[in-house]
Amino acid sequence: MNLKELAQKMLNEGFNPHETNVDDNGYDNLPDGIYDAILEDVQFRVSEKTGTEWLSLTLTIINEGYENRKFFANYWLTEKQMEQNIKKLWGHAAQVFNVELTVDDIANIETAVVEKLQTALGTQVELELKTSRWKDKKTGEMKEFQNFKLAPATPF
């Protein structure tokens, strides 16, 4: 499809450059709840801005009405959250993805863990989302963060 065909398709589907909210990129949080999802990708990431490291699992939702939406299950490796998130990651690898990680794998998370978890690509899982809200003590601003839990998919 060339650009002219794409532009015509967007207009035919209701896009109006004068009225359509172009800032809605479809990446808003999914509503809290339980979803069926497929593991599509595993990446070790590093923020260029802060140097923060994390492991990111890309999960694609398959529930009707949300199909093909992405959720990024991130295991942040900050000093404050490292132990908690390594436990969570290690447990999810074993219990949800049936991937055995060793101490040596954890020591090489950016390569060994990524490679081992990539063997689980295509695995269906149950994803539970719950949003936590709190008031920032410094600014008084309301903040929120969407937490996730993973479980093996429940067979029909």
Give the pLDDT mean for 16-23. 65
Question: What pLDDT is attached to residue 28?
Answer: 60
Non-local CB neighbours of 44 within 8 Å, separated by 6+ positions:
53, 54, 55, 56, 109, 110, 111, 113, 114
Question: What pLDDT is attached to residue 25?
Answer: 47
Most confident among 8-22, 103-117, 136-150 (mean pLDDT): 103-117
For residue 68, give Cα distances in angstroms to 39, 40, 88, 150, 153: 12, 11, 25, 18, 17
- Return phi, psi of residue 55, to 5°: -105, 130
pTM: 0.79
Question: What pLDDT is attached to residue 1?
Answer: 73
pLDDT tens, position by position, 22-64: 555 455 679 999 999 999 999 999 999 999 999 999 999 999 9
Determine contact, residues 38/123, Cβ cutoff 8 Å.
yes
Determine contact, residues 90/101, Cβ cutoff 8 Å.
yes
Least reliable range by pLDDT among 15-29, 95-109, 112-126, 132-146: 15-29
Question: What pLDDT is attached to residue 16?
Answer: 77
Sign of the torsion angle spanned by Cα atoms 115, 41, 88, 96: negative
